[in-house]
Structures are given as C-alpha cells and as structure tokens.
C-alpha cells in the first residue's frame, strides 16, 4: 500500500510557501510596493522584515497523515461518488449527478480540512497562526472547483440548457465589471442616490471642505428640544442609515420626533489629501456639534456615532471634556471601537513594518483608495462577498438581484492618507485612545474617563469588523451611566433592523461586568428590533416637546441644496 505523502517534507514546503505568500501579501496590502521600501526604517536599515518561525509536532503530523489517508481511502472506495459535506457551493443536484464533479468537490474539501489541520499543528505564536489560517482560507476560497467552468457541474448544466447563452451573458457581465472596476454584487442600474436611496426629505444647511451637514424635515408639528446629530463612518457613505423609507434609521428618528441632523463626509480627492484625524474631529464632528447648537438654539444636543464615526465622535467628546465643555447630553455608539484590544481579523494585517510603510507612503499626503478598502472588507468573507458573485455573474451568466444594501456596499469612498495613517497607528496598532493623555487631538490630551455623559452602546453578535467583545469594551472606559445592548446578525444587518420587519432579536443586561462573556451569562433575549429599546432610553434625554421649525437652518445657516447633497454623490 502506498505510504502517502511525506508529511515532514510537506510541512517544510508549507512553511516555505507561507513565508513567501505572507511576504507577497504584505506587498499587496502595502500598495503593491516591494518590501525593500521598508529599508531605512529605524534600526533595521538593511534587513527585511523578520518572518515568523514555524515548527511542527511530529506526533500531530503523523495523526494528520493517518486521518488524511483514512478519509482519502474511504472517498476512493465510494467509486467517485464523493459528497461535498453540506457545503452550499456544492449542494445543487448537478454536483451529485456528476460523479467526477462530486469527487472533485469532496477531495477539495478534504484537502482544505487537512491544510487547516496542518496550520493548527504549527507551533508558533497566536498571531502568526491566525495569519496562516487566514492565508489558507483565502487560498481555499479562491481555488474551489466551483470557481472554474471546467469543474463547475452546475454552470456546465446551465450552459447546456441555455445552449451557451449563459456563457455569453457571463462574458458580457465580466466585461461590464472590468469597465466599472469591481465585481457587481447587485444590479447597480436599479439605484440612484437621491432617487430611491437616501430619500428622506431634508436640506444641506452647512458645508466645509470635509463634510456637509444635512437637516431633515420634521414629521410633525412638535420635536424634542434637544436635536439629534448622527456622525456616520467616513470609510463609506452615510446613506447606509437612510437606504429606503422602510429601513431608514434616519427616518425612524424623524418619525419619533427628533430634530435630526446627519454629517455627510466628502469623498476624499486631491484637494483634501492632506487632511488629518484632527481635521475629521475638529472640522467634522466638533464643527457639526457647534452648527447644530447654533441652528437649534439648544444648549445641549444628543449624538450618535456609527463604526469609525463612533470613534471620531468619542474622540471629539474627549476633546470637549478636556476643554471642560459639555454640549452633548448623551451619546449612542453603534458597532464602535474605542478600545482596540479586540479587533478581529483586521489585526492580522497590522504590524510595525506595515504601519511605518503606510506612514511613509501616504502619511503626509495622498489617498487611500476606496476600492482598496472595499476589497479588503470583501475578502474578510471571500466566499460570500467575492467568489459567490464571480460564479453567479461570470460562470452562470446571472444578473444579481437589486439589493439596496449591496449597492451601498459597492459605493466606495477614498480617505486622506494622513488621517488614515494616524488612525492606523493610534488605534489598531498602539490602542492609544484608551491610554489617558497618550494622544493629543485638536490641541487636547485625550482621556475618555472624562467623558461623563449617559451612553448607549450597541454591538452585533456576529460582527466580523467590530467584534462584539471590542464593542463591549467601551463600557470599561466611559464613566457615565451606560446601557449595553447586543443585537443579532452582523455589522450592518444587526444595526439596520427596523421594528416593522419584526426580525432577529436583541439581548439586554443592566449589569456591566468586566467582559462580554460575563455580561452574556446574565443577558436576556428579546424578540425583534433593538430600536424601540434605544428610543425608550433616548426619550427622557431629549427634553420637552417644542414647536417644529418651519424652515431649514437659521440665520446665516440657510438651505444650500436639497438632501442628500452633492458630497454623497461623488464617486471614488
């Protein structure tokens, strides 16, 4: 009987391949430049970055070999009738009715499990092991037999049924996607910003180089006396919070009687390529707070930050606290990181060499292109957000159905290089925002312990961008009265969960122990959307009811143009 592969030699080859692959990955994430560009950084002037050391336990390698040979023998003994183990890529009946395709899929899955087992057998530090796991998962996702027409039984069957029409349509879809510069996740022709997404009625009442401020038309004759300011993420466009009337968080705020304002960030271009984190805090969040106060005449406002918008808002509140000012009565943080101890898979890419290279590359001026950001986030879930569309669009010749959220997801934004470089070092790499006095922003030492206001903190249970533990960590750094709520689903679907849909669920626990795991032990699950819980929390903080304004803006702040404004329509 054949003894099988030389597993010790395979382990050595894997180590060499992973070292080469990791170096190429770093080059890719560093903008396609050679890693020799790192030369001259600090004391490692002429040395390349240190690669991790790997060793493999002989006992674990032997166990893997035995398991592989056993499963491979069983698969072969089925006579080319392997099954794909429930993987949704291979569940179509075409795979089962074609013995060669079924065997190919089953062999692919066996090899994938074995490679991941080899990674688990590697004896190295946890971050290196996570990087290896990520690299193998990316390689497996890209090399799946479903991604190739010659191996995809389902696509072949469709080509025969349509007499080649599906192939012709697939080629046309490929040409269209090459022209637009990204893989289509939805039929983008069905959407237009301002026509059927971002449609809540309002007007731009202020703008500067960095942002426009939108005021929305009140739904009734009364509004709460404290207006509500929304600071969305700048890494994508604000209308994720105003997709369509039935799932718009902005419209929900308006309908609940809140006089609502939203920051619409400018899609960065060469005119603002030197903007910094200080600018996003000062000319963005702080300026928006000031203008909302002036327009409304309110001494205090309520504010919300979503994702990176929450990090910007939290920094702005710390600046205000350092100045002994308190214009914000309460803050809501949605899927926000203030403490970057737990950042999930994004942490895999970030080390000293990567950060230094980005600082040299775009730290003084330049742009982080929106497509680079979009691709990075898509490849965090490659099967769902990349290869699924490659197979559907090109191999099957399908047009993806219209879906507002995926249209938004494809509408990418650029970031100024200096802002991004500061953010990368001071949050993901050094976690400086939670170190009192470590960061200076807008001339003030940042200390989150001084942000003593009521806060509502929301995290999504299955969030792969802001892990739930990272979202929960904010409760340990903000001293005011706090409420933490966890919603089901992920980074976007968990947040955009209107009550009328009656979908998913959320969890609450009035006690706030040190960790999210401890919080979960006493948490209670509730069916439906978390929005009503949030509105109940916000209502007593919004003040009394006052007559709604008759017109947009006030005094020098007049309506500039109808919502959604021109900033949000600029393409990356």
Look at residue 325 and give its three-state secondary structure.
Answer: coil
C-alpha closest to that of 293 among 315, 272, 254, 320: 320
399 secondary structure, DSSP code: P
pTM of the model: 0.86
Angle at 347 (CA atoms; ends 341, 348), nearest 5 degrees: 145
Could you name the CATH architecture of 202-369+414-569? 3-Layer(aba) Sandwich (3.40)
Q: Across-strand partners of 554?
A: 557
C-alpha closest to that of 464 among 309, 307, 338: 307
In order of 162, 495, 557, the CA distances from 166 in angstroms are 6, 37, 55
Give the side-chain half-sphere CA count within 13 A for 57. Answer: 12
The one catalytic residue in 234, 307, 439, 442 is 307
State the pLDDT at residue 495: 97
Residue 530 corresponds to which tokens in the numbers above?
């978390």
Contact 529, 504 (CB under 8 A): yes
197 secondary structure, DSSP code: B
CB atoms within 10 A of CB 160: 10
Give the domain ranges of the chain.
Answer: 7-42+54-155, 162-189+381-413, 202-369+414-569
- The helix or strand, by DSSP H or E, that contains position 63, with its residue range, turns out to be helix 58-77
Residue 489 corresponds to which tokens in the numbers above?
């689903």
The pLDDT tens digits along the chain (572 residues) read: 444 445 445 445 544 544 444 444 444 334 444 333 333 333 343 445 566 677 888 888 888 888 888 888 888 776 555 555 678 899 888 988 888 888 889 889 999 999 999 888 888 888 888 888 988 999 999 999 999 999 999 999 999 999 999 999 999 999 999 988 889 999 988 999 999 999 999 999 999 999 999 999 999 999 999 999 999 999 999 999 999 999 999 999 999 999 999 999 999 999 999 999 999 999 999 999 999 999 999 999 999 999 999 999 999 999 999 999 999 999 999 999 999 999 988 888 788 999 999 999 999 999 999 888 888 888 888 888 899 999 999 999 999 899 999 999 889 899 999 999 999 999 999 999 999 999 999 999 999 999 999 999 999 999 999 999 999 999 999 999 999 999 999 999 999 999 999 999 999 999 999 999 999 999 999 999 999 999 999 999 999 999 999 999 999 999 999 999 999 999 98
Annotation says 234 is catalytic: no
Distance CA 78, CA 75 (A): 5
State the pLDDT at residue 58: 85
């Amino acid at each position: 009987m054949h003894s099988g592969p030389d597993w010790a030699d395979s382990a050595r080859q894997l180590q060499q391949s992973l070292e080469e692959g990791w170096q190429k990955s770093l080059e890719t994430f560093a903008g396609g430049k050679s890693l020799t560009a790192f030369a001259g950084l600090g004391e490692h002037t002429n040395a390349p970055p240190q690669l991790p050391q790997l060793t493999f336990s002989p006992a674990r390698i032997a166990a893997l070999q035995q398991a592989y040979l056993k499963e491979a023998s069983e698969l072969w003994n089925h006579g080319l009738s392997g099954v794909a183990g429930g993987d949704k890529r291979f569940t179509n009946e075409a795979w089962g009715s074609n013995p060669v395709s079924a065997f190919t899929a089953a062999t692919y899955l066996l090899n994938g499990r074995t490679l991941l087992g080899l990674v688990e057998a590697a004896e190295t530090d946890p971050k290196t092991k996570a990087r290896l796991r990520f690299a193998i998962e990316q390689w497996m996702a890209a090399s799946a037999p479903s991604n190739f027409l010659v191996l995809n039984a389902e696509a072949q069957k469709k080509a025969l049924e349509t007499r080649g029409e599906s192939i012709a349509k697939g080629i046309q879809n490929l040409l269209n996607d090459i022209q637009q510069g990204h893989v289509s996740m939805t039929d983008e022709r069905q959407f237009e910003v301002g026509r059927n997404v971002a449609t809540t009625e309002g007007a731009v009442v202020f703008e500067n180089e960095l942002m426009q401020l939108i005021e929305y038309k009140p739904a009734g004759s009364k509004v709460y006396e404290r207006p509500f300011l929304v600071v969305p993420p700048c890494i994508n466009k604000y209308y994720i919070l105003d997709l369509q009337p039935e799932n718009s968080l902005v419209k929900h705020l308006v309908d609940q009687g809140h006089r609502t304002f939203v920051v619409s960030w400018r899609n960065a271009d060469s005119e603002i390529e030197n903007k910094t984190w200080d600018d996003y805090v000062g000319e963005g969040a702080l300026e928006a707070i000031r203008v909302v106060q002036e327009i409304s005449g309110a001494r205090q406002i309520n504010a919300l930050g979503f994702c990176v918008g929450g990090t910007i808002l939290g920094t702005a509140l710390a600046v205000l606290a350092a100045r002994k000012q308190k214009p914000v009565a309460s803050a809501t943080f949605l899927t926000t990181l203030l403490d970057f101890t737990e950042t999930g898979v994004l942490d895999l890419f970030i080390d000293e060499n990567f950060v230094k290279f980005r600082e040299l590359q775009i730290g003084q001026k330049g742009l982080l292109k929106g497509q680079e950001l979009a691709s990075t986030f898509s490849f965090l879930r490659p099967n769902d957000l990349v290869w699924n569309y490659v197979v559907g669009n090109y191999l099957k010749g399908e047009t993806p159905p219209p879906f507002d959220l995926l249209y938004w997801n494809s509408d990418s934004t650029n970031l100024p290089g200096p802002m991004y470089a500061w953010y990368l070092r001071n949050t993901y790499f050094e976690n400086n925002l939670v170190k009192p006095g470590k960061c200076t922003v807008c001339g003030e030492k940042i200390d989150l312990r001084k942000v003593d206001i009521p806060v509502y903190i929301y995290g999504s249970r299955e969030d792969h961008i802001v892990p739930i533990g990272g979202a929960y960590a904010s409760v340990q750094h903000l001293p005011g009265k706090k409420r933490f709520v966890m919603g089901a689903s992920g980074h976007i679907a968990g947040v955009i969960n209107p009550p009328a849909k009656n979908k998913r669920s959320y969890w609450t626990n009035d006690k706030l122990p040190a960790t999210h795991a401890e919080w979960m032990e006493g948490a209670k699950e509730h069916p439906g959307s978390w929005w009503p819980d949030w509105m109940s929390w916000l209502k007593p903080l919004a003040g009394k009811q006052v007559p709604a304004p008759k017109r947009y803006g006030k005094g020098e702040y007049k309506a500039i143009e109808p919502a959604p404004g021109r900033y949000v329509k600029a393409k990356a």
